[in-house]
């Protein structure tokens, strides 16, 4: 039996990167999966891949910066599958900005994608679980930068730190409903989105991954498939009663100094 046999899992931001890896891992562990994304092409391609491998999957076009679309993504899953058992909020905006050069528009964009979208997706998912008096699990993909981060991540840090606090607040509020809500603070990860950011904002070349890996203790960046396996464990019953935990999934030790 798989860790997520017969579970209905929605992965917001699931059409690429870490979200897509989570969708693949969830299907492999027996779940029916829905993935959201703004662009149909990668989302539909992923669903075709998962379906061809024998999984149940669907794509929901949604812009998670819009609260109504975030809620509607959950409603579409409930309409299609009859319920939602697990939610993963993996969508993220990582565009750069410092305290001094961040515009109100950039700040609002980060809040919308990295905090407001997850808030209202959680609201809709928890409402379905509570209405059915059924247990459920939620995992929010956050970031180690939520502890402080680099100066050029000011709006990103503000939004993700909010998501870290929200994760604990919601977990506390719904523990008696048997809804477990946890977060994963991931570090520097090798994704398509990170590749685009490194090239756009930091002038990175084709070998940036190799150069970055050489500077890291484990000799590699975080890998989406490894993160996905950890998320599946947190979504599953095998993680027991754990709720309200925000786990640093990284090779940098918070508070450690050389």
Look-up of token digits 């109504």? 68
- d(CA 14, CA 33) in angstroms, rounded, equals 10
Taking the chain, what is the end-to-end CA distance rounded to the nearest angstrom?
Answer: 45
> Which residue in 162, 193, 164, 254 sits closest to 16, CA to CA?
193
The DSSP secondary structure of the chain, one letter per residue, reads --TTTT-EEEEET-SSHHHHHHHHHHHHTT-EEEEEES-HHHHHHHHHHHHHTT-EEEEEE--TTSHHHHHHHHHHHHHHHS---EEEE-------B-TTT--HHHHHHHHIIIIIHHHHHHHHHHHHHHHTT--EEEEEE--GGGGS--TTBHHHHHHHHHHHHHHHHHHHHTGGGTEEEEEEEE-SB--HHHHHHHHHHH---TTHHHHHHHTSTTSS-B-HHHHHHHHHHHHSGGGTT--S-EEEESSSPTT---
Exposure of 202 in the CB half-sphere (CA atoms within 13 A):
17
Residues annotated catalytic, as ranges:
156
- d(CA 255, CA 244) in angstroms, rounded, equals 21
């Amino acid at each position: 039996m798989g860790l997520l046999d017969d579970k209905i899992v929605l992965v917001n931001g699931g059409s690429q990167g870490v979200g897509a890896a989570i969708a693949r891992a969830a299907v492999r562990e027996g779940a029916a999966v829905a993935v959201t994304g703004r662009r149909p092409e990668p989302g539909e391609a992923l669903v075709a891949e998962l379906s061809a491998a024998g999984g149940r999957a669907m794509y929901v076009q949604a812009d998670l910066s819009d609260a109504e679309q975030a809620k509607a993504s959950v409603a579409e899953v409930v309409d299609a599958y009859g319920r939602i058992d697990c939610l993963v909020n993996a969508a993220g905006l990582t565009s750069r900005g410092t305290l001094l050069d961040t515009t109100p528009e950039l700040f609002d964009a980060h809040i919308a994608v990295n905090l407001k979208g997850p808030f209202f997706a959680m609201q809709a998912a928890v409402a379905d679980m509570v209405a059915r008096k059924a247990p459920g699990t939620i995992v929010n993909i956050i970031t180690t930068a939520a502890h402080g981060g680099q100066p050029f991540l000011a709006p990103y840090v503000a939004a993700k730190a909010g998501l870290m606090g929200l994760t604990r607040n919601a977990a506390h509020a719904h523990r008696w409903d048997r809804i477990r809500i946890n977060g994963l603070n991931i570090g520097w990860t090798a994704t398509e989105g990170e590749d685009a950011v490194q090239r756009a904002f930091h002038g990175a070349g084709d070998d940036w991954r190799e150069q970055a890996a050489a500077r890291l203790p484990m000799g590699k960046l975080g890998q989406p498939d490894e993160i996905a396996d950890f998320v599946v464990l947190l979504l599953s019953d095998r993680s027991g009663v754990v709720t309200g935990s925000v786990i640093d999934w990284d090779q940098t030790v918070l508070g450690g100094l050389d």
